[in-house]
A and B are shown apart, each in its own frame.
Chain A
Amino acid sequence: MALITANHISKTYRVGEVEVQALRGVSFEIEPASFVSFVGPSGSGKTTLLNLIGCLDKPTEGALTVAGADVAALERKASAAFRGKTIGFIFQDFNLLPVLTVYENIEYPLLMVQKVPPAERQRRVTALLEAVGMSDQRDKKPDQISGGQKQRVAVARALVTNPKLVLADEPTANLDHGTAYMVLNLMKKMRDEFKTTFIFSTHDQKIVGEAETIFTLEDGRLNGTKSRGGNGNG
Chain B
Amino acid sequence: MGNLFKIAIRNLLRYKRRTLLTASLITVGVVFVLAFVSVAGTFKNMMIGQITDSMIGHLQVHRRGFVASIETLPLNLNLKGGAIGKLEKILNEQTEIEAYSPRVKFGGMFSNFTETSSIRLTAIDPEKEFKTVPLLPERVSDGSKELKPGGILIPELLARGMKVKPGDAVVIVATNADGSVNGKQFTVTGVMESATGPGGRDGYVHLNDARELLRMEGQQVSEYVIRLKSFGNLAAFSEKLDGLLAKELNQQDKPLFELHTWEKLSPFFNIARMIDLMTFFIKLMLIAIVLISIMNVMIMAVYERIREIGTIAAIGTLPGKILSMFVIEGFCMGVAGALIGDLVGIGLVWILNLSKISYNFGQQKGIILQAGVSPADILMISATVIIVSVIASLQPAFKASRMEPIQALRHT
Contact = CB atoms under 8 A, between A and B. Distances in A.
Contacts of B312: 97, 108, 112
A8 interface: no
A80 B313 contact: yes
**Interface size classification for chain B:** 20 to 34
Interface in A73-113: 76-77, 80-85, 87-89, 91, 93, 95, 97-100, 108-109, 111-113
Interface string A148-165: 000000000100010000
A111 B308 CA distance: 17
A54 B318 contact: no
A112 to B, nearest CB: 6
B409 interface: yes
- Give chain A's interface residue range (CB within 8 Å of chain B): 20 to 34
Contact of B11 (A99, A157, A161): A99
Contact of B406 (A56, A97, A108, A161): A56
B3 A83 contact: no
A56 B316 contact: no
A80 B319 contact: yes
Nearest to A76: B319
Contact of A91 (B10, B14, B409): B409
A51 interface: yes
A210 interface: no
Contacts of A54: 314
A57 B315 contact: no
Interface in B268-314: 307-308, 310-314
Interface in B18-63: none
A51 B11 CA distance: 28
Contacts of A109: 315-316
Interface of A: 51, 54, 56-57, 76-77, 80-85, 87-89, 91, 93, 95, 97-100, 108-109, 111-114, 157, 161
6 contacts: A56-B405, A76-B319, A83-B315, A89-B311, A95-B308, A113-B315
Interface of B: 3, 7, 10-11, 14, 307-308, 310-319, 321, 404-406, 409
